Amino acid sequence: MALIVQKFGGTSVGNPDRIKNVARRVAKYRAKGDQVVVVVSAMSGVTDNLIKMAKEIMPIPNEREMDMLLATGEQTTIALTAIALHALDIPATSMTGAQAGIVTDDVHTKAKIKNISPKLVHEMLDAGNVVIVAGFQGQTIAGQITTLGRGGSDLTAIALAAALKADLCQIYTDVDGVYTADPRIVKTARHLPEISYDEMLELAGLGAKVMQSRSVEFAKKFGVVFEVRSSLNDNPGTIVKEETLSMEGVVIRGVSLDKNQAKVTLVAVPDQPGVAGHIFKAIADANINVDMIVQNISHKADKPSTDISFTVDKPELLKTQKVIEALKTKIGFSDVIADEKIGKLSIVGVGMRSHPGVAAKMFETLATEGVNIGMISTSEIKISVIIDLAKGEQAMCAVHEAFLGK
């Protein structure tokens, strides 16, 4: 008898029919005698809609109340999924994150899991139930409801698989796994049978919205091998696991485009020691994640100043602007410019380590397309550029063709 964790994302549980579908799939595994733990997201669009309503009332709502609000999305789905299993005569019980023993820190809206004590999960499984756990949520030691950041149901699934020492972890979504690029945009994108944690991590972090990146980090840390596959068919998915030697033979595993970033530029910042520290400390204290940072060279020798640009997630732009405005008189920069019309285009592959000339080829391809590069950042296995959002998809197709076209 195997213990299986199956996670179903928002589109897989998007309406009652889809939820019945999920129940039928779960039933198939259970008929083989396996124990099944199901983790579900909110029905598609629900979380976005809850956020929208809160923001209609107040632009920056209290974060504890946002967690209270958003946790209801997943709570709806667990009960409906349990009911769908009951309709098939299968004993099933739903559980909130707290009931499943998921303990987090107290950073509301992006809490980190501290530990999991799945006592009740084990009890219910042993009593013959399918257990359905609400993704994306947990509880602090003090008993406050928290959420784990957007897309956090993936993390719930991976962390539960680790805590329960599951034999199999399947992440069901609306695509057949991971592709060399988003197949809705790049028609020649190809399916990948396997990918390393590090590549998946870069792709997830870079906005190929296959999975939340923290969940992949977690899987890497605890060695959880998992499969990403479609809930809409029985096609084989993509296995995500530790890097193997053969993976190095491929220069680029995939291309991604992140449309969820915004750029903030501080104009004429005094070029003195400590200024950048001051700015980014204030942003970090507000719990805002900064991704790329670019500082220009100083002009005017008498009163040296420089422009500093950085990117944040689009939903955090307002909060970031507020933090920055509060620093204006103290630091003495002249202006703040926000730009939401940017895209981050990235290429990823562990093979980059052993193949030279990858950056040059990417930049030349963009030049040929007439795409201007605003910012550049690189890591061992990734090159990212900030470009004009309007040219994002065109640039993505061209770069995919250059590296992965046949």
Site for Mg ion in 160-179 (CB under 5 A): none
- Rounded least distance, CB 50 to ligand ASP, Å: 9
Give the one residue of 6, 12, 41, 256 binding ligand ASP; rule: CB under 6 A: 41
- One-letter identity of residue 207: G
Residue 133, strand partner residues:
39, 95
Q: Choose between 232 and 331: whose C-beta lies nearer to Mg ion.
A: 232
Which span (55-63, 85-93, 146-154, 339-347) binds ligand ASP, by CB under 6 A?
146-154
Q: In what order do the strands lie in the sheet with 342-348?
A: 254-258, 342-348, 382-388, 375-379
Name the helix (H) or strand (E) containing 7.
Answer: strand 3-8
Instruction: State the nearest-atom distance from the C-beta of 323 to Mg ion, in Å.
Output: 28
Please answer whether residues 39 and 7 qualify as being in contact, where contact means their C-beta atoms are separated by less than 8 angstroms.
yes
Least CB distance to ligand ASP at residue 354 (A): 35
47 binds, among ligand ASP, Mg ion, none (CB under 5 to 8 A by kind): ligand ASP
The number of residues in the chain equals 406
Q: Which stretch binds ligand ASP (CB under 6 A): 111-119, 151-159, 272-280, 361-369?
A: 151-159
Stretch that binds Mg ion, among 9-17, 61-69, 293-301, 347-355 (CB under 5 A): 9-17
Q: Please report whether residue 10 would count as binding ligand ASP according to CB under 6 A.
A: yes
Closest distance to ligand ASP from the beta carbon of 9 (Å): 6
CA–CA–CA angle 260, 265, 270 (5° rounding): 150
Residue ranges in 185-289 assigned as alpha helix (H):
197-205, 213-222, 275-285
3-state secondary structure of 177: coil
Q: Are 11 and 172 in contact (CB under 8 A)?
A: no
Cα 330-331-336 angle, rounded to 5 deg? 110
Q: Assess 138 for contact with ligand ASP (CB under 6 A).
A: no
75/180 with CB nearer ligand ASP = 75
| x/- track of binding to ligand ASP for residues 88-127 (CB under 6 A) | ----------------------------------------
Q: Which two tokens stand for residue 71?
A: 């946790």
Site size toward Mg ion, by CB under 5 A: 3
Which listed residue (8, 29, 136, 226) binds ligand ASP by CB under 6 A?
A: 136
Query: In the range 41-70, which residues lie near Mg ion by CB under 5 A?
Result: 41
How many positions of this chain bind ligand ASP (CB under 6 A)? 12
* 40-48, 269-277, 296-304, 317-325 -> range binding ligand ASP (CB under 6 A): 40-48
249-278 positions binding ligand ASP, by CB under 6 A: none
Residue from 5, 9, 197, 247 in contact with Mg ion (CB under 5 A) = 9
Residue 331 CA to residue 275 CA, distance in Å, equals 7
Name the β-bridge partners of 270. 305
Unique residue bearing structure tokens 């998946």: 200
Residue 41 has which token pair? 């997201």
Is 150 near ligand ASP (CB under 6 A)? yes
Q: Which residue has the tokens 């005094």?
A: 270
Which residue number, 45 or 193, has a Cβ lying nearer to ligand ASP? Answer: 45
Let me know if 139 is exposed, middle or buried by CB neighbors in 10 A (0-12, 13-18, 19+).
Answer: buried
By CB under 6 A, residue 13 contacts ligand ASP: no
Structure tokens of 75?
């709570």
Instruction: Output Rg (C-alpha) for the chain, integer angstroms.
Output: 23
Residue 271 touches which of Mg ion, ligand ASP, none (Cβ within 5-8 Å per kind)? none
Residue 192, φ and ψ in degrees, nearest 5: -105, 120
Q: Which of 23, 39, 73, 254 binds ligand ASP (CB under 6 A)?
A: 73
Contact between residue 235 and residue 183 where contact means Cβ atoms under 8 Å apart:
no
Q: Which residues bind Mg ion (CB under 5 A)?
A: 9, 41, 151
Q: Which residues bind ligand ASP (CB under 6 A)?
A: 10, 41-42, 47, 73, 135-136, 150-154
